[in-house]
Amino acid sequence: HRFVVNLIITSCFSSGPAAQDDSMTTTTTTMTSQHAEFHIAPMQCYTNSPTRHLFHLLSPSCVKWTEMEKINDLFPKSESEPEQYLFQALEKRLGPPQDYNEASHLVLQVGSNDPVRLQSCIEHATQRYSFREININCGCPSIESGGAATYGASLMKDASLTARLVESTRNALVTSSSSSSSSSS
* Per-residue model confidence as pLDDT tens digits over 148-167: 467 788 888 889 999 999 99
Q: What are the start-end ranges of the E strands in the chain?
A: 5-9, 25-29, 39-40, 63-70, 106-111, 133-136
DSSP 66: E
DSSP 111: E
What SS3 string covers 68-95?
EEEHHHHCCCCCCCCCHHHHHHHHHHHC
Does residue 28 register a pLDDT over 50? no
* Per-residue model confidence as pLDDT tens digits over 69-109: 888 888 877 766 667 888 888 888 888 876 555 567 888 99
Q: What CATH number does domain 37-184 carry, 3.30.1180.10, 3.10.20.30, 3.20.20.70, 1.10.3720.10?
A: 3.20.20.70
In the chain, % of residues over pLDDT 90: 15
- State the pLDDT confidence band at 115, using cuts at 50, 70 and 90: very high
52-67 core/surface letters (b: 16 or more CB in 10 A; e: else): beebbeeeeeebbbbb
- State the pLDDT confidence band at 179, using cuts at 50, 70 and 90: low
At 167 the pLDDT is 94
Closest listed residue to residue 87, CA positions, set 130, 118, 45, 128: 128
What burial class does residue 36 get, using C-beta atoms within 10 Å of its C-beta: 0-12 exposed, 13-18 middle, 19+ buried? exposed
Which one-letter amino acid corresponds to residue 160?
Answer: S
At 175 the pLDDT is 81
Which one-letter amino acid corresponds to residue 28?
Answer: T
Closest listed residue to residue 2, CA positions, set 37, 41, 33: 33
Name residues whose C-beta falls within 8 Å of residue 47's C-beta, 6 or more positions apart in sequence.
Answer: 40, 41, 64, 65, 66, 67
Does the model's pTM come out above 0.85? no
Would you list the domain boundaries of the chain? 37-184
